[in-house]
Amino acid sequence: MQITLSDSGKRFNRDWIFRNINQTFYAKKSYAIVGNNGSGKSTLLQSIAGILQLNQGKILWSIQQKEISPENIYKNFSIVAPYLELVEEMTALEFLNFHGKFKPFFPDITVPQILDEVELPASAYNKQIRYFSSGMKQRIKLAQAIFSNVPVLLLDEPCTNLDKNGYSLYHRLIDTYCKEKIIIISSNDEGEYNFCTDLINIQDYKS
């Protein structure tokens, strides 16, 4: 898998959020989009995902030099973000089983095993997500994204609502299950991206 941005730019009305980005993302590498709050990190991440359309340049998704059509991009990534909500009327088991029907998980792990891996208490497996703490909800978000059998993992502030133990869990999951993926993180918290080898400072692409 490879993602290539060529002279890419996004604006809202007359204001450019970013411009002239030339960047290629490769498998087995981790990238962090950094910058101040409100600088456009999430906008860039959503543009990479095809959720937002560019106003300048293009993004090419490809596997073995074969381009992926825009309507099929979503099949190749999973995402964690504060603005993406869980189906809180479902239990944890129901939600992950539902998610797995349209974006399958790794073939060698079951949903209960996934919940165990994100350290959700067994007593919570059959509780509606609406009754979970914010930290437990974030663990469910991480579960559905990290264990999806896709080549790209997009993380927007992935440790939101997690405590110190949650940060440790996050790093263990990334290290154990995501070595083959492209990982792109949008964050200004170094504790979320300190393992990344490439940093993209959104402030460098404002003009």
Phi first, then psi, for residue 140 (nearest 5°) are -65, -40
pLDDT in tens, 104-137: 999 999 999 999 999 999 999 999 999 999 999 9
Geometric angle at alpha carbon 187, from 12 and 24, rounded to 5°: 75
| CATH number corresponding to 2-205 | 3.40.50.300
Q: Give the Cα separation of 170 and 189 in Å (integer).
A: 13
Candidates 124, 164, 115; CA nearest to 142 is: 115
Domain ranges of the chain: 2-205
Q: Give the Cα separation of 155 and 82 in Å (integer).
A: 10
Check pLDDT > 80 for residue 207: no
Q: Give the Cα separation of 28 and 39 in Å (integer).
A: 27
Mean pLDDT of the chain: 96
Phi first, then psi, for residue 8 (nearest 5°) are -80, 140
Average pLDDT for 29-57: 95
Model confidence, pTM: 0.95
Q: Give the Cα separation of 50 and 61 in Å (integer).
A: 10
**pLDDT-based confidence at 64, cuts 50/70/90?**
confident
Check pLDDT > 90 for residue 198: yes
